[in-house]
Amino acid sequence: MALRSQAGGRNALRFEDDDLATHSSLEQEKVEESVEQLYSNFHRRSDGDADPVLHREKHLSYLKKGLRHLSDAYECLDASRPWLCYWIVHGLELLEEPIPEETVTDIAQFLSACQHPNGGFGGGPGQLAHLAPTYAAVNALCILGTEEAYNVIDRPKLQRFLLSAKRPDGAWIMHQGGEEDVRGAYCAASAATLTNIITPEMFEGTPEWIVRCQTYEGGIAGVPEMEAHGGYTFCGYAALVMLGRERLIDTKSLLRWTVNRQMRLEGGFQGRTNKLVDGCYSFWQAGTLPLLHRVLMMEGDEALSKESWMFHQGALQEYVLICCQFISGGLIDKPGKARDFYHTCYCLSGLSIAQHFIGGKYNHSHVLGPTQNELHATHPVYNISPEAVVQANSYFGVLPVPSPNSAA
């Protein structure tokens, strides 16, 4: 197996042993070859001492093009429209690009059309409410952050919709008659805490149910007895953090599993053991590490760094910047894949996590490349800007929590 030779101070991640079984599949070898080619081209071209550049203008133009098409949404049957709104507006806030006032109004009105008459948001106008687009719509509206955007959310009905998705054992279903998995707990906790509709009973049993999803490997699966995966691990752990119950889980094995998902040669993260690197896990996996850092810091772990997260932040930035930027804008899963708004959002979110160490009173930037590469920080629980979280908390925090027993 060939090794990436020049990656800029990456000794900690370099393979010593060519025979490790985890990288033996043909698919894995192909990815390694193309990643290695990109890294060596980059270092040859730049004589080994230039830094990778974030193609800001290209990404902005891709995201803005997507924004213009959001207004076609009424004619489109796509079931992920609130997601598209969120991925695009979050990408823009990471790139610190203001959204024009009339666009803010258009998006808020579109999301209002996606709100179900009985509460929660569907994948498009007229669709059944579902926890995933509900999470995305609430996040997007909080990023927009205007009174008009906040007021789209019918809080008493949202609360009723959330409660209708709660199972007696603490699990959450994604929609009526739909699947039960750990995404439900995260989406519900995120929407409920941002909009201040949480009641003491709402998440009863949920932390215990999430802990049942932790596997022998240490990561979290979608449901008990299934395979640990980065997407579910983030959802499960971030939900525990929101509910203030993160100490219920085995922190050490979760930490060990998560840090070991960063790939030695690629620098990016895989979603699960023996699978391929993918740019979106730059957020789902790396985003879990600030949450773990915070808990260990509160526990007074002496060995914990006060300057960096528990992953190789430079290597992740290299993966995103050198391997995940699509030539004409937008970001991708891995070399050879097509761009999309999901990977654009989560590659940029992961890049932001890797650039900013925010550990209580200790704040450090670790920006690889020119200073113009620096993105806005993201909140590792909600994945919207920390300012948007604070502003939503102050707007909704003064409103009374709706009473679940009041008449419709």
Residues that bind Zn ion (CB under 5 A): 278, 280, 333
Active site residue 333: yes
- 278 forms part of the interface with ligand FPP (CB under 6 A): yes
Count of CB atoms within 10 A of residue 83's CB?
21
CB of 280 to Zn ion, least distance (A): 3
In the complex with Zn ion, the residue whose CB is nearer, 82 or 271, is 271
| Site residue total, ligand FPP (CB under 6 A) | 14
Residue given tokens 């579902």 in the structure block: 130
Active site residue 343: yes
Given 187, 332, 367, 368, the residue binding ligand FPP (CB under 6 A): 187
* CA 106-124-157 angle, 5° bins: 90
In the complex with ligand FPP, the residue whose CB is nearer, 160 or 334, is 334
Amino acid in position 16: E
In the complex with ligand FPP, the residue whose CB is nearer, 264 or 272, is 272
Catalytic residue (choose from 85, 213, 235, 280): 280
Distances (CA, A) of 209 to 41, 246, 272, 332: 48, 13, 21, 33
Q: Which of 245, 156, 161 is CA-nearest to residue 204? A: 245
Catalytic residue (choose from 235, 333, 347, 376): 333
User: Going by C-beta distance under 8 Å and a sequence separation of 6 or more, which residues neighbour residue 131?
Assistant: 120, 162, 165, 172, 173, 174, 175, 183, 184, 187, 188, 191
- 275 forms part of the interface with ligand FPP (CB under 6 A): yes
Tokens linked to 94: 């990471």
111 binds, among ligand FPP, Zn ion, none (CB under 5 to 8 A by kind): none
Q: Which of 70, 75, 99 is CA-nearest to residue 85? A: 70
Backbone angles phi, psi at 121, to 5 degrees: -120, 145
CB of 286 to ligand FPP, least distance (A): 13
Given 90, 175, 183, 212, the residue binding ligand FPP (CB under 6 A): 183
Strands 362-365 and 356-359: antiparallel
Which residues have a catalytic role annotated? 229, 272, 275, 278, 280-281, 333, 340, 343
Residues that bind ligand FPP in the complex, under the rule CB under 6 A? 132, 135, 183, 186-187, 229, 231-232, 235, 271-272, 275, 278, 284
